[in-house]
Structure 1
Amino acid sequence: MTNREFEQLVARLEAQALRRPWLYKMRVLALALLGYGYIAFMLVGLLLTSVISVVALKALGAKLALGLLVLMWMVLKALWVKLDAPQGRRVTQKEAPELFAMINDLRKGLKAPRFHRVLITDDFNACVVQTPRLGVFGWYRNYLVIGLPLMKTLSVEQFRAVLAHEFGHLAGGHGRVSNWIYRLRLSWHRLIDSLVGEGRFGTFLFRRFFNWYVPYFTAYSFPLARANEYEADAAAARLTSPQAIAEALTAVNVVGRYLGERYWSDIHRSASDLPRPAFAPYGSLADKVSGGLQDQPMADWVEHALQRETSSDDTHPALADRLRALQQGPLLSLPGPDARADRLLGPVLSAITEELDCRWEAAVLPAWEERYQTATRGRERLRELDAMLQQGTELNPQDGYEHACLTEEYGAGEDAALPLFKALYQQTPDQPVVCYALGLRLLQRDDDEGLALVEKATELDEDAQLSGYEVLRDYCWRRGREEAAHAWHDRLLERHELLQRARAERDQITLKDTFDPHGLDQEQLAALRAQLRAMPGLRRVYLLRKRVALFPERPLFVLGYSCTRWWGLYRRKKVDAIGQRLVDEIQLPGEVFVLSTDGDNYRFGRKFWWKRGARVRL
């Protein structure tokens, strides 16, 4: 199902849901049960076929039935998908009694199930995660996952409203069916992706059906899932107050954007100037956010959050629509130090904060040190290029591009670098890298001249198409040009699918493939022989090119090798070790697929042996 087809179906279903909500829900329920019905049909069909074969075919049927029962067992095993539980720092009722008192109060008020674990993470989020113990058959373990940054930037009442919204998705009562379907959408995606993706034996019985079913069910239940978000907001308003949920929604949208665009980017940018992190990001997060939002009028942050429109990309409605449903206006009220929700963690707050800070530093330290070293080298190189310009030396296009990038990153900044990119474009207007670089920077400044430049880069260089189409789509969408955005999105999907097919064609070699001569000249072949002679243990080596349908101008070399004499003992570890060394060290003008012709792959050796010129003499 294409993106356009998905949106059209969702729009039609939303209209049906408004006209006949009861009938629409019944259809969604029937479609939800279809998934389980198909699984039951396949299992019962296998069982009945086994019984009938035994009755009708006697001894021969018993053998057939045994095979069918084995298949049935493999199918059940494949459906028994194990999903990893969410990770985080577990807190108990003994450690944080105030937090658990709030959780239990909300859970009882909404008739929600109990939680097996409450976890604190470093995300700016709170959510309920259900992991099935019986695969697609359910029996869930419930996890409440709470992000410490969220607790540090919301008041206690705002945080209570956020939890009430999340619990609303698990609530019982009149909304039980809607909530079940809401959760089922997530379950089908997680479970079926895992089921089909792992390629277990028996999944062929389900692959075609679920490739159709999951996207269709996702689209068909989309209006119900979005309505469930509004119902969860209403539940939160009943348990707390409309003002509290409005404040929470406004804060989540504004603070979330600030953290993504300013807070974390500023921290990571400081790696260019500091050899090691010199601060605790989670310990100081609340004060930094409060101060950072004051640097720009809060009304501007709120206005930007309200500009986002509800779309079919997400079941969560936009902030403006959610506030309208609550009959509330935007309310941004950041709590003071004594009113923040993190105090609900009690005495373990400092330990959890310190643990997250230490974990963050350990995770980022290698990349941090590398960035600092890169920045040091970049500043030195920028000084060299500036000195060349001061001496009157004209930079070549490559050095000019480097100078513009280094000026932007380590020098006078974006405003000073933009004229350098423009001058470079005047000098080399047909260089795709320059077109893309200048076009991207113009679009970031909402300058429409960048559209033609990025599009020109995608025409000049196929490798720029994925990122270029994405940039063009996002810019058009941000500027309200939805039709153009959809067109670029379709081209992005087409390109992505083409690359996926090409990758699949190159990721495997079969006996049915057609192989052509390698096409290397004598100099390249001599260099290859020198590399191969440096690897002890090789007995025979073959080199060919696989004939590919997609991007044939990009050669895919197949390097077949043998380490075992005809009378020798096959040793897998030795063969694998030599193969890995070939992968790491062999350099050819194209992709290389390394294939052992020993053991189970002996038929490839026979096929390669008959190809004239395939043998590389060592």
Structure 2
Amino acid sequence: MTASLRAARALALLAGFHLLGLALLAALAVTDWLLVTVLFTASTAYLVGGSLVASVMVAIPILRGMIAFLTAGLRRRGPGGVVVGERDQPELWALVRRAAAEAGTPPPATLVLTGEVNAGVSERARLLGLLAGPRTLAVGVPLLAGMTVPQIRGVLAHEFGHFAHHDTRLAAVTMRGRAAVATTVEAFHGGTSRAQALVGSLYVRYARFFLRSSQGVARRQELAADRAAASQVGPATMAAMLRRLGVLGAAHGYYAATWAAAGVPVGVLPPSGEVHGGFRRLLAARGPDGLAALAADRPARKDDPYDSHPPQRERLAALEALAPAGPAYDPDGPPALALLRDEDAVMAALEEHTLPAEAQALPRLAWPELVLRRSVADAEGWAAPLRKAVERARRMAPVTGRPTGAGVAQEAEAEVGGPGALPDLAAVLDAIDDGLLWMAVADRMPKPPQAARLTGASARNFIRPRIWDAVAGLLLLHLVGRGLAEPDTSWSADPGLVLPDAWEKGMDAAVDAALADTPDTAPLRALLAAPPDA
């Protein structure tokens, strides 16, 4: 389908949107006219008045949606990130200009570096997207951190392939129509009248039709941009770029959820520039195999019929079917991050544009201190339910070898450190040795209502993992307190603690023994009593 036919189809769909609104308004107007001129009598005045009010209530969201459609493009915000000029980043701009020239299209007016694993072009087009406007190219810094220069050339060639085929203007038509349809449908949400629900259902059905129809056009544009890019950089380079893009998406998602956000629960951030810059360290530490493992662990993404991009497998199959063209793929090309000047300053500036103000105000800690603080907070959280359960069990049960009766609670309270104090590791192990684990302590551990009815082995097996985590938390706190646990900032695993070799080898088995159906704390006590360098 030619660009002209695609434009005609997009305009027809937008005309259908307007016609739907106009038709509904016309139907309301005709109905009101008939009510006033034909059916209005003294006896029906109340009914007619109510109908007129209902018509106005239905017409308001229709008009609101049509107005939103006309102003959607003007209210569209650009990508959030750091705007860089040619003086700031001459090497990156040189690559951008080269890619634009090879695509036969003018370079963008603005280059923005973002914190996303993505790149994209936008154009503030006019007249429903048919008249060109200033173009902006957004490039995600994580792409630069994880790709080679040839792969980034493939990214840029794909984006400028949209420019060369005038797809950004058509995309403006499509996206503007999407915004208008979504706004109009949203206007009907929360409506309580049957009339509003009926009109809203019509817009929802049209919205689904519009999205599916426009997505077909958008996906063909993406495949055309892939072909244009492959003619410049080669199909093999494009295929390698797409595969790398999927790996980087999985790795960055993992990084954002674990490392970048590690300090948030304890109210701190890593050093300036490291919220985004730490991703470089993870990529370097994991290597190809480690990154592939992260991608393999990522849940399979379901195909979205409304996604503007075809599934990756479809794009790869289309590239593999192309005849060889362009330069040969260089898997050992120079890193794209070398295109950035003063990358640390870029990472710091990016935080100012991507982090909310309240996050930027948080204190900063070096990675080791941050990981240690978070690990201690996690350990305290894991241990707290068990410590509270042991305290309650001690207050309610006699202590072996001690007097029973009224003095038991006071003695147990003294053992755990006085009023308000929670049992420490030694007190928890003593409670296990005193036979309180199953079920005096276990019964007092928090659990969902449906698990409260479990008894015997089923109850023990359900609660055992939670008690295991709690004991592990107490052990970690003990080792940190003795200076035997250090923060793990190797980036090859989740942020956590590095334990002495004896603990790494023997801790799991010792905790398992302490929490067995017949508990035995001897292995755990032996670990605790061993010299630090054992």
Whose radius of gyration is greater, 1 or 2?
2
1:566-585 Cα distance to aligned partner (Å, 9 max, x none)? xxxxxxxxxxxxxxxxxxxx
1:157-189 Cα distance to aligned partner (Å, 9 max, x none)? 21111122123233327xx5xx76655444333
Which residue of structure 1 lines up, in the alignment, with residue 483 of structure 2? none
> What is the CA–CA distance in structure 2 between the aligned matches of 1:420 and 1:33, rounded to whole Å?
69
Residue 36 (1) aligns with residue 82 (2):
no
Which residue of structure 2 lines up, in the alignment, with residue 12 of structure 1? none
Which residue of structure 1 lines up, in the alignment, with residue 244 of structure 2? 251
Aligned with residue 176 of structure 2, among 187, 191, 209: 187
Q: Cα distance 1:187–1:388, how it changes in 2: closer, same or farther (>3 A)?
A: farther
Which residue of structure 2 lines up, in the alignment, with residue 104 of structure 1? 97
Which residue of structure 2 lines up, in the alignment, with residue 291 of structure 1? 285
- Structure 2 residue identity aligned to 1:378: G
> What is the CA–CA distance in structure 1 between the aligned matches of 2:304 and 2:63, rounded to whole Å?
39
Does structure 2 retain, via aligned residues, the 8 Å contact 1:274–1:372?
no
Alpha-carbon shift at residue 138 of structure 1 (Å): 8.2
Aligned with residue 303 of structure 2, among 297, 302, 311: 311
Aligned with residue 344 of structure 1, among 339, 342, 346: 339
Does structure 2 retain, via aligned residues, the 8 Å contact 1:385–1:403?
no
Matches within 5 A, 1:93-492: 93-112=86-105, 115-130=108-123, 142-172=135-165, 184-197=173-186, 207-262=200-255, 265-269=258-262, 277=270, 280-281=273-274, 282-293=276-287, 296=289, 304=296, 311-312=303-304, 314-327=307-320, 333=331, 339-346=334-341, 349-356=343-350, 363=359, 366=362, 374-375=377-378, 377-378=380-381, 381=384, 384=423, 387=426, 389-391=428-430, 392=433, 393-394=436-437, 395-399=441-445, 400=463, 403-404=467-468, 406=470
1:92-136 Cα distance to aligned partner (Å, 9 max, x none)? 233333333333343344355763432111222211234567789
Which structure has the higher relative contact order (CA within 8 Å, separation 6+)? 2
Name whichever of 25-34 and 281-290 sits farther off: 25-34
> What is the CA–CA distance in structure 2 between the aligned matches of 1:33 and 1:84, rounded to whole Å?
26
> What is the CA–CA distance in structure 1 between the aligned matches of 2:148 and 2:443, rounded to whole Å?
55
> What is the CA–CA distance in structure 1 between the aligned matches of 2:509 and 2:8, rounded to whole Å?
56
- Structure 2 residue identity aligned to 1:396: A
**Runs of at least 5 residues in structure 2 that lack an aligned partner in the other structure:** 38-51, 365-369, 388-422, 446-462, 477-495, 497-504, 518-534
- Structure 2 residue identity aligned to 1:390: L
Q: Cα distance 1:263–1:417, how it changes in 2: closer, same or farther (>3 A)?
A: farther
Q: Cα distance 1:323–1:73, how it changes in 2: closer, same or farther (>3 A)?
A: closer
Which residue of structure 1 lines up, in the alignment, with residue 455 of structure 2? none
- Structure 1 residue identity aligned to 2:114: T
* Percent of residue pairs bearing the same amino acid type: 21
Does structure 2 retain, via aligned residues, the 8 Å contact 1:123–1:147?
yes
- Structure 2 residue identity aligned to 1:288: L
> What is the CA–CA distance in structure 1 between the aligned matches of 2:474 and 2:118, rounded to whole Å?
34
1:308-350 Cα distance to aligned partner (Å, 9 max, x none)? 6873454534444433322289x89475xxx332343446x44
SS in 2 for 1:39: helix
> What is the CA–CA distance in structure 2 between the aligned matches of 1:397 and 1:140, rounded to whole Å?
68
SS in 2 for 1:170: helix
Give the structure-2-normalised TM-score.
0.54
> What is the CA–CA distance in structure 2 between the aligned matches of 1:44 and 1:319, rounded to whole Å?
41
**Runs of at least 5 residues in structure 1 that lack an aligned partner in the other structure:** 1-21, 58-63, 427-618
> What is the CA–CA distance in structure 2 between the aligned matches of 1:409 and 1:36, rounded to whole Å?
63
1:508-542 Cα distance to aligned partner (Å, 9 max, x none)? xxxxxxxxxxxxxxxxxxxxxxxxxxxxxxxxxxx
Alpha-carbon shift at residue 237 of structure 1 (Å): 1.0
> What is the CA–CA distance in structure 2 between the aligned matches of 1:311 and 1:420, rounded to whole Å?
44
> What is the CA–CA distance in structure 2 between the aligned matches of 1:119 and 1:199, rounded to whole Å?
36
SS in 1 for 2:111: strand
- Structure 1 residue identity aligned to 2:14: G
> What is the CA–CA distance in structure 2 between the aligned matches of 1:419 and 1:325, rounded to whole Å?
56
Q: CA RMSD in A?
A: 5.6
Does structure 2 retain, via aligned residues, the 8 Å contact 1:89–1:121?
yes
Alpha-carbon shift at residue 418 of structure 1 (Å): 13
> What is the CA–CA distance in structure 1 between the aligned matches of 2:361 and 2:188, rounded to whole Å?
37
Q: Cα distance 1:311–1:146, how it changes in 2: closer, same or farther (>3 A)?
A: same
Alpha-carbon shift at residue 227 of structure 1 (Å): 3.4
Does structure 2 retain, via aligned residues, the 8 Å contact 1:182–1:224?
no
> What is the CA–CA distance in structure 2 between the aligned matches of 1:92 and 1:346, rounded to whole Å?
12
Q: Cα distance 1:374–1:158, how it changes in 2: closer, same or farther (>3 A)?
A: same
- Structure 2 residue identity aligned to 1:403: I
Q: Cα distance 1:332–1:407, how it changes in 2: closer, same or farther (>3 A)?
A: farther
Q: Cα distance 1:418–1:38, how it changes in 2: closer, same or farther (>3 A)?
A: farther
1:187-233 Cα distance to aligned partner (Å, 9 max, x none)? 333333234435799x9998554322221122234444333332222
Does structure 2 retain, via aligned residues, the 8 Å contact 1:111–1:172?
no
> What is the CA–CA distance in structure 2 between the aligned matches of 1:380 and 1:307, rounded to whole Å?
31
Q: Cα distance 1:74–1:148, how it changes in 2: closer, same or farther (>3 A)?
A: closer
Give the structure-1-normalised TM-score.
0.48
SS in 2 for 1:396: helix
Does structure 2 retain, via aligned residues, the 8 Å contact 1:127–1:145?
yes
SS in 2 for 1:94: coil
Does structure 2 retain, via aligned residues, the 8 Å contact 1:102–1:160?
yes
Q: Cα distance 1:181–1:377, how it changes in 2: closer, same or farther (>3 A)?
A: same
1:453-485 Cα distance to aligned partner (Å, 9 max, x none)? xxxxxxxxxxxxxxxxxxxxxxxxxxxxxxxxx
Does structure 1 retain, via aligned residues, the 8 Å contact 2:66–2:180?
no
Alpha-carbon shift at residue 307 of structure 1 (Å): 10
Q: Cα distance 1:279–1:144, how it changes in 2: closer, same or farther (>3 A)?
A: closer
- Structure 2 residue identity aligned to 1:96: Q
Does structure 1 retain, via aligned residues, the 8 Å contact 2:154–2:229?
yes
Alpha-carbon shift at residue 241 of structure 1 (Å): 1.9
